[in-house]
Structure formats: structure tokens, C-alpha cells
Structure 1
Amino acid sequence: MQTPAGNRTQDLLAARQQCQLVAGTCEVITLDRDSSQPRTTIARQTVRCACREGQIAGTTRTKPACVDAQIVRSEQWCEMIPCLDDEGCNTLVNKSGWTCTQTGGRLKTTTVGGKPVGLL
């Protein structure tokens, strides 16, 4: 039994709306962790964001967020406040990412991979 074209169109629209994000929000699509090296955990994540005009996917206080696109263009990563309040932020020398320094000297290094989508 086939469904009428009108019902199928409504079903497709409803499914599409369920997958859409609210403007200005992000969600993690994939998260992979590798703890095979001693004292090191490598985490890779892919996020999907619905950013407003002038914004792009970034990181704020260790969570995916929409940030000012100029921060990404200029690679001034610490301007998006990627670290927690009690951590210090430093941009890597080659501008490929940043480090968050915790009290006690523990470092969390984040590198930016892939080509940003929608960045002009």
C-alpha cells in the first residue's frame, strides 16, 4: 500500500524539522577516544552547528559553540574562551590550535583539523 504524496511530503518535512538545530546551537555528531598511549588520551569529535550570520563553529569553555567568524579567520583561538575559567589559554606557535593549562601543570592541547565549512 502506498501513502498519498501529500502525506509522504508531510512525513519528510516532519523528519527534516526534527534534525534541524536551533539557531546559535551545536551538537556533537561523533566522539572517538583513544587511550592506547600511556598518560595520553586522544579525542576526536565532529560537531554540527546552526550558527547565525557572522558566526562559525568553535569552542567555548570546552564545549562546541558558535563563535565570531573573525576569531577563526585570524586563528586567535583563545579569544573564543575555549578553556575552563580556572585554566590558562595559549595559542600554539603555528596557530594550529591551543593549549589549556590546568593548575598543577597538566596540559590539554586542541588542534583544529579539517577545512571549515561555510567560512568565507
Structure 2
Amino acid sequence: MLKAVRMLMLRVAWALAGAAICCFLIILIHSRFLREGQLAAGTCEIVTLDRDSSQPRRTIARQTARCACKKGQIAGTTRARPACVDARIVKTKQWCDMVPCLEDEGCDLLVNKSGWTCTQPSGRVKTTTVRLTYSHNHCNPLVDQERLGRPKFY
């Protein structure tokens, strides 16, 4: 009986030691692949956000995002948040294909394809323009967004 209890305790000890080693290895592997300051593949984070409300009824927001996109993807906007999107969207400038507006908003492409507008049910319009910059063989879309009140018709 005493021998059986010792064997059981030995098995439990080995199981706990194995689990501890396994957890240590997982943490070690994770830390090698995802160093501090690095983003997981397919994710984005907002780095800077500037707002200019100096003009009446108009706010201009400039946002810089850092993304770690997978092959065939590029930094873009989905549901009004930075996201990795299909690079084809940027090449063809079919901005509404990346679903940049919120669920209740309608997306319209600007005539010159320099951006898009998101129109809320209340009539409020958000205009977003994109400037593409190229550095080190990477294309970085810079986004300027203007939030306007209801459009005035003259």
C-alpha cells in the first residue's frame, strides 16, 4: 500500500515537472518570436493621432498606424480602425472594398479615387483622403480624415 502511494506521488511529481518544463518552453519560444515592441502578424496599432478643430464645423484628424501585415496585405482601414487589407485594394484604389466605414454608414468613393466618404444616417459626412508614400520598397498609406457636418447646398 505504501509503495503504491509513493509510486502515485512520483507520477504526480513527474507530471508537474513535465508541465512546468512545457510552460517554460512555450514562454521561451513566444519571447523569441514576439520581442517587445513587435506586433503579431496581421495586426495594427495607432502610433500618433492629431486633431485640428481650428475651423468651425470641421475637424481634421491625422492618424499614423503601425501594422505588421501578412504577405499580400497592406495597412488600411476596416470599420474606422487601422487594419491589414488586401494589397489589391490599394493598387486599384477601390477603397470601399476594405469596408472602411462603420456598420450604419454608407461608403462612397471620391471622384478622383483619392479617398472615400462615410455618410452617417444623420447626414454627417466623414471624408478620408489617402496619400501613398513609398520607402524601402514598402507602400505606406497616410490617411487624413475630415469630419464635416451636414453638407450645405447652395
Q: TM-score, normalised by structure 1?
A: 0.83
**Whose helix proportion is higher, 1 or 2?**
2
What corresponds to 1:112 in structure 2?
A: 130
**Whose strand proportion is higher, 1 or 2?**
2
2:35 counterpart of 1:17: yes
Measure, in 1, the Cα distance between the counterparts of 2:61 and 2:98: 20
Measure, in 2, the Cα distance between the counterparts of 1:53 and 1:104: 39
Deviation track 1:44-96 (CA, whole Å, cap 9, x = no partner) reads 01111000000000000000000000001000000000001100000100100
Unmatched 5+ residue regions in structure 1? 1-12
Percent of aligned positions that are identical: 68
Report the aligned-residue RMSD.
Answer: 1.7
Larger radius of gyration: 2
Tell me which amino acid in the other structure corresponds to 1:112. Answer: V
Measure, in 2, the Cα distance between the counterparts of 1:35 and 1:20: 33
* Counterpart pick for 1:83 among 93, 96, 101: 101
Q: Which consecutive segments of 4 or more residues in structure 1 shift more than 6 A?
A: none
Measure, in 2, the Cα distance between the counterparts of 1:112 and 1:96: 6
* Counterpart pick for 1:41 among 59, 67, 73: 59
Instruction: Please report how far the alpha carbon of residue 115 of structure 1 lies from its aligned counterpart in structure 2 after TM superposition.
Output: 1.2
Measure, in 2, the Cα distance between the counterparts of 1:116 and 1:106: 33
Aligned length: 106
